[in-house]
Amino acid sequence: MSIVSKFKRLFLVAGILVATIVPSLPVRAQTTPPPNPQVDPISALKLTPQQQSQIAQVMQMAQAQIKEILTPDQLTKLQTMSKEGRDPRQIFAALQLSPEQQTKWQGVDRIAQQQLMAILTPEQIKILQSMQQR
């Protein structure tokens, strides 16, 4: 799985950085640009190879921790809904996590987000924040 795929999957699965990691829209011939074109955050952030490697490590750790939190049925549901491209909030709700699972998931999410933000440069963080505001 490529770094881009892993990056997108983790953000979908864990809901990290809310809805900032979205797939690029397909290129279509148009005479006028769409009113709110979506930007591929991976390209916009211009991650270095070192950053990509660090992000991959954070994602692997977070994914492993999330898998430990879920029951086998919840894990299957998560994987199925992720492959279908469902919204992270919809997936989270469908999993029907216990209060203990929610607390653990949020802890993993918070730590992963902190680690990911520490990898980014101040300029990349500004770009990410501007994308979140759209």
| Host domain of residue 113 | 49-134
Note the pLDDT of residue 17. 34
pLDDT mean values, one per 10 residues, the chain (134 residues): 44 39 33 52 86 94 94 94 91 93 95 94 91 78
Domain count for the chain, please give it: 1
**String of DSSP letters for 74-110:** HHHHHHHHHHTT--HHHHHHHTT--HHHHHHHHHHHH
**What letter represents residue 10's amino acid?**
L
Note the pLDDT of residue 20. 28
Residue 34 lies in a domain: no
Residue 65 lies in a domain: yes
Question: Which of 65, 59, 74, 48 lies closest to 12 in space, CA to CA?
Answer: 59
Note the pLDDT of residue 14. 42
Note the pLDDT of residue 31. 42
Burial class (CB in 10 A: 0-12, 13-18, 19+), 10: buried
Q: Specify the DSSP class assigned to residue 38.
A: P
Distance separating alpha carbons of residues 11 and 128, to the nearest angstrom:
13
Note the pLDDT of residue 3. 43
Residue 63 lies in a domain: yes
Residue 125 lies in a domain: yes
Helix/strand/coil percentages in the chain, nearest 5: 65, 0, 35
> Do 41 and 21 contact (CB within 8 A), yes or no?
yes
Q: What is the dihedral of CA 42, 47, 49, 55, to 10 degrees?
A: -70
Residue 99 lies in a domain: yes
- Compute how many other C-beta atoms are within 10 angstroms of the C-beta atom of residue 113: 18
Note the pLDDT of residue 88. 87
Residue 21 lies in a domain: no
